[in-house]
Amino acid sequence: MAESDGPSYIDYETFLDPDFSPTAFANSLVIATNNPSDTPIDLSTPLSRVLFDIQEIDTHIHTLTTKSAIPLLTHTKTQADAGQKIVSEVEAQVASLTDGYQRLEKEVIQRYEEANQVRIAVERLWETVQVGRAVARCLTLGRQLETQMAEVGGVGGTTGSTKKEDHRAMVRASNTLLAARQILSASGPNEEGEHLSKINLITYLQNSVITPSETSLRNRAQQIIREFSLSSLASSSAAPTTYAQSEETKSRTTSALLTLQLLNPRLLIAALQTYLRASLTSSLTSMGRALNNLPTLDRTLLEVSARCQNIVALESLLGATKPPQTTPPDSIAQVQEHLTNLLEPLLAALDTSSLPSFFWRSLAEGLGPRVADLVARGGVTARALRGQRDRVKDSVRDCVLRGSQSPGDPTRKAGAWEREAAVMVGSVTGALGR
């Protein structure tokens, strides 16, 4: 810069040095204009030097700006014009983008909001349709259940009707109940019965049709199993007298078994165990009285044989009855899906391989202490038992062999039940001695 405008005595390199120090520069000026031995230091000379340098620099700056004013203004104007042009172009683009956004908002966003409202309305309508279909299905099943219960003779039946009852309708009604129960239990999110619990009509249907029908079916099936009898050994009004009556009893009992299996497998097991316990209790009580009064022993043993024959017939019926394909959503039902008949879960619950064997062994277990108590009391009864020991032994053995065969079966497989006969004979004669 100094070379272009002529020589200058100002040392610009010193001032432009990055390590320039004002104090060091001032000190060098004072030392250069004064002697170290001078007591009064002259500061006016270095100060004048500094002022003169400043004035020189100011003059130089003024000269440069005066010569370069027009080029600087021209350059500034050019940059300003270019900036203004860019701003104009940007404003045009911004205006175009604004117009595009407004058009997009009108054509897309507003239409999306309208479409979203339509979607919400359609979803709610679809939920309403689903609820309506579920309600309609429940009402259809309820009407169907009323018709079936009228055929059974339960809920919905006409009072004083002389129409013959159809026990097969129990199974149909159980399947209908199961279908209704599945709908009502599917109350999770997005399931068929999600909102049914909030509908008064469905609540009324449950309280007036479904629950009473289920109770009626359960009680009816339990009664049929409780009254099951096929043996003709002992006189009984429930025992069939003809082949057709026997087949009707089997068919009615099969319907009862399937009904309880459909309603709840636990109910079936409980009903069958109740039947076995009732037979055991009656047999144990009657045999205890008969041993105390020997003239009635033969008739009592005949009744016990009849009860066991009924158990044999029940075992055969259970073995021939396959579980229904439709089962309730129950943990036991899921475990029983692989079963081939209804006998297997009962044998598993009783921990036995045969119902007649279970009957005789359980009867012998309860009979032994009673006989021992009779002998311990002594008297006429104990002497009569000891005196007729062989007769009692043969009668009890014959009772076991006779009761262990199917009703109406003339063939006797004695060898198959010798162990049970020995157990029963031992329970009666064991306390009598030899």
Give CB contacts under 8 A, 24+ apart, made by 335-343.
336/265, 342/257, 342/261, 342/268, 342/318, 343/315, 343/318, 343/319
Average pLDDT, the chain: 84
The pLDDT of residue 27 is above 90: no
Neighbouring residues of 2: CB distance < 8 A, sequence distance ≥ 6: 8, 10, 12
Q: Give the torsion sign (CA, 341, 344, 349, 354).
A: positive
pLDDT at residue 3 tops 80: no
Window from 147-161, 193-207, 352-366, 403-417 with minimum mean pLDDT: 147-161
* Higher-confidence position of 309 and 11: 309
Structure tokens, 363: 């009867």
Predicted confidence at residue 37, as pLDDT, reads 75
User: Has residue 329 got a pLDDT over 60?
Assistant: no
Q: Which pLDDT does position 230 carry in this prediction?
A: 87
Hey, CA dihedral for 219, 225, 226, 227, is it positive or negative? positive
| 343: confidence class by pLDDT, cuts 50, 70, 90 | very high
Pair of tokens at residue 201: 């009509």
For a pLDDT cut of 90, what percent of the chain falls above it? 40
Q: Is the pLDDT score of 399 beyond 50?
A: yes
Going by pLDDT thresholds of 50, 70 and 90, the confidence category of residue 10 is confident
Rounded to the nearest 10 degrees, what angle do helices 297-320 and 243-263 cross at?
60
**Polymer length of the chain:** 434
**What is the C-alpha separation between 296 and 267, in angstroms, rounded?**
37
What average pLDDT does range 240-266 have in this prediction? 89
Name the nearest CA neighbour of 239 among 300, 321, 307, 315: 307
pTM for this structure? 0.71
Q: For residue 115, what is the enclosing H or E element?
A: helix 110-152
Q: Which residue has the higher pLDDT, 118 or 187?
A: 118
Q: Say yes or no to pLDDT of 217 above 80.
A: yes
- pLDDT value, residue 157: 44
Instruction: Return the structure tokens found at 376.
Output: 């311990």
pLDDT of residue 191 exceeding 60: yes
Contacts 24+ apart (CB under 8 A), 396-400: 396/301, 396/421, 396/424, 396/425, 396/428, 396/429, 397/421, 397/424, 397/425, 398/301, 399/301, 399/302, 399/304, 399/305, 399/424, 400/305, 400/308, 400/360, 400/424
Q: Cα separation of 134 and 40, whole Å? A: 118
Q: What would the pLDDT profile of 116-157 be if each residue is shown by its tens digit? A: 999 999 988 988 888 889 899 999 999 999 999 999 874 444
Rounded percentage of the chain residues whose pLDDT exceeds 70: 88
Tens of pLDDT, residues 47-67: 888 888 888 888 888 888 888
Q: Check: CB of residue 217 under 8 Å from CB of residue 242.
A: no
SS (HEC) of 245-283: HHHHHHHHHHHHHHHHHHHCHHHHHHHHHHHHHHHHHHH
Least confident span in 98-102, 114-118, 220-224, 417-421: 98-102
How far is residue 319's CA from residue 406's CA, in Å, rounded to a whole number?
Answer: 14
CA dist., res. 105 & res. 113, Å (int): 10
CA distance linking residue 217 with residue 221, whole number of Å: 6
- pLDDT at 2 (0 to 100): 42
